[in-house]
Amino acid sequence: MPQSHVVTISRFLVDQQRLHPEATGAFTSLLHDIALAAKLISREVTQAGLVDILGATEEENVHGEAVQKLDLYANQVMIRALDHTGLVACMASEESEGLIPIPDKFDAGDYVVIFDPLDGSSNIDVNVSIGTIFSIHRKRSEGDRGVLEDCLQPGRDQVAAGYIVYGSSTMLVYTSGAGVHGFTLDPSIGEFLLSHPLMRIPEPPKKVYSINEAYYARWSRAQQRLVTHLKTEADFGSRYIGSLVADIHRTLLQGGLFMYPADTKSPDGKLRLLYEAAPMAMIMDQAGGRASDGHRDIMSIEPESLHERTPLYVGSHEFVELAEKFLAEG
Q: Which residues bind ligand AFP (CB under 6 A)?
A: 65, 119-123, 212, 242-244, 247, 270
To ligand AFP, the closest distance from the beta carbon of 119 in angstroms equals 5
- 87 versus 118: smaller Cβ distance to ligand AFP: 118
**DSSP structural state of residue 275:** I
HSE of 11, CA atoms in CB hemisphere, 13 A: 9
To ligand AFP, the closest distance from the beta carbon of 87 in angstroms equals 28
To ligand AFP, the closest distance from the beta carbon of 244 in angstroms equals 3
- 66 versus 322: smaller Cβ distance to ligand AFP: 66
- 1 versus 214: smaller Cβ distance to ligand AFP: 214
- 42 versus 243: smaller Cβ distance to ligand AFP: 243
To ligand AFP, the closest distance from the beta carbon of 314 in angstroms equals 11
CA geometry: angle 163, 168, 173, nearest 5 deg: 20
- The full DSSP string for 247-264 is HHHHHHHH--EEEE---S
- 28 versus 61: smaller Cβ distance to ligand AFP: 61
Contacts for 118-122 with beta carbons within 8 Å, 24 or more apart?
118/41, 118/45, 118/68, 118/70, 118/71, 118/74, 118/75, 119/94, 119/243, 119/244, 119/245, 119/276, 120/241, 120/242, 120/243, 120/244, 120/245, 120/246, 121/67, 121/68, 121/70, 121/71, 122/68, 122/242
Distance CA 93, CA 274 (A): 9
Beta bridge partners of 68: 56
- 109 versus 311: smaller Cβ distance to ligand AFP: 311
To ligand AFP, the closest distance from the beta carbon of 316 in angstroms equals 18
Give me the helix-helix angle, 244-254 and 278-286, nearest 10°: 10
Give me the helix-helix angle, 317-329 and 221-228, nearest 10°: 140
To ligand AFP, the closest distance from the beta carbon of 235 in angstroms equals 24
To ligand AFP, the closest distance from the beta carbon of 140 in angstroms equals 28
- 91 versus 245: smaller Cβ distance to ligand AFP: 245
